[in-house]
Structure formats: C-alpha cells, structure tokens
Amino acid sequence: MSEQPLDGAIALVTGASSGIGAATARRLAREGAAVALVARRRDRLDQVASDIAKLGGHAVAVEADITEPERAEDAVQDTLDRLGRLDILVNNAGIMLLNPALHTTIEEWDRMISLNVAALLHITHAAVPHLIYAASTSPRQVADLVNVSSTAGRASRPGSSVYALTKSGLNAFTESLRQELLSERVRVSAVAPDAVDTELVNHLSDTTRDAARRQIAGIEALRPEDIADAISYIVTRERRVAVNEMLIRAGDQAW
C-alpha cells in the first residue's frame, strides 16, 4: 500500500465544520483524498479547508443545509463539478437533544429527525449513483459509504428516546443498504462512538448538559481524531475487506 492510500480519491464529509466531521476531513486529506466539506457554517468550513491546505492537502467548502433535498443534491453536484468524482461519503452530520418525553418539545424531536435521518437520506440518495460509478472506474475498484451512528443505536437510555430512534434507524438503514450495494462494490459501514469530546453536548439544556458532563467526568473521553482514525481504517482497506460496523467506547467506559 502506498504512503497515501487514498491518492486520487474524492471524499464528501457532512457536518465537516467541527468535531468528528472536521477531524475526519483532515484525516482523509492526510491519506491523499481531496475532500468536499459540507455543513451550514461557512466560516468554519473555510477554516478547516485552510487547515488542510496548510498540511498539503486539498479541500473545498460546500455550504449547504442538507435537511432540504434540493440542497443535498446541490452539495453532491457541487462536489462533482469542483472535484470531478465521488469515491467516499461520510454521513456525519447530526444533533443530540436529550430530554424526557414529558419535558421536551416536538420541535426538538423534529430537529433530530430532520438532521439525523432525513438529511442523511437526502445526501445518500444523491450520492449513491456516483459512488457506484466510482467503484467501477477508479483504480481502487471500490467506493465507501460510512454512516456515523452512536452507541445509542444499540442501548436506549432515559431521556434519549428519539435520539436512540434516529440512530437505531440509521443502523437498520446501513445494513440494508450494505446488502443492496454489495454487487456494486460500494462498501457500506456504520461507526458507533460514545463519550466523544465534541460540541454535540452544547445543544443540550443546561441541566441535561451538566448531567451528561458529570457522567463522563470520571473517564477520559474519546477525541474526534479517534473516530476519524476508525473511519480512515475502514475506507483504506483493500477491496477484499469490508468493515461493516465498528463500536467505539472510551477505554474507561463501563456502560
């Protein structure tokens, strides 16, 4: 394997303005891929693109609200227009709003379904034909679709009912899509982290955020770069290898 196993490949990463998405974009660029950075915060995207350029990589900022189907399609088309193809899609964009059903709002539930489920479906639907084409025409002879899930998709807890619903649904979608695309040489994988030090908890109410921070206070939380390493491992395997699912917990995490 070359020093840059993704040399010549094109990746699209959603939620790339911070956290796991930004770390993944940097890591894939380090492996040789050109990266389309998709998110809503243009200033953050420009900063990540600048960071990648300083390290000798190439990235383009694609400002888009992919909860809107047309904007998701535009984001994929923008990637193709500017970078020429699409070999890797990382569906990372998501939001976590934790509250008991009695004390939450329907708007919070709708926000999670809109970004965690609908946006993922929009971008995936737009990208799959191009991933299939890349798998049949690229030197790698394989393409990759990686969905960032959560341990909440395996084990539900109080206060996380709809968040768990979105992630368990993501897992089911990923497995079905994996089987559908086997013959097309598009590998479909799920990465399920827990206890990662990101901005995700910033969207919580003060009480819930404090409780979440107390829960992980006694452990060394995962870093975004740890999840980026896992995604990099998945997409840099030889075509004969498919990593279908990866569960990642902090080393001290008991739950």
Query: Read out DSSP for 85-113?
Result: ---EEEE---------GGG--HHHHHHHI
Of 121, 90, 233, 111, which Cα lies nearest the Cα of 163? Answer: 111
Q: Quick check: helix, strand or coil at residue 243? A: coil
Cβ atoms < 10 Å from Cβ of 104: 17
Cβ atoms < 10 Å from Cβ of 182: 12
Of 171, 159, 147, 139, which Cα lies nearest the Cα of 208? Answer: 159
163 in active site: yes
Instruction: Determine which one of 122, 163, 187, 216 is catalytic.
Output: 163
> Cα separation of 129 and 186, whole Å?
10
> Cα separation of 99 and 113, whole Å?
15
> Cα separation of 184 and 71, whole Å?
26
Active site residues: 163
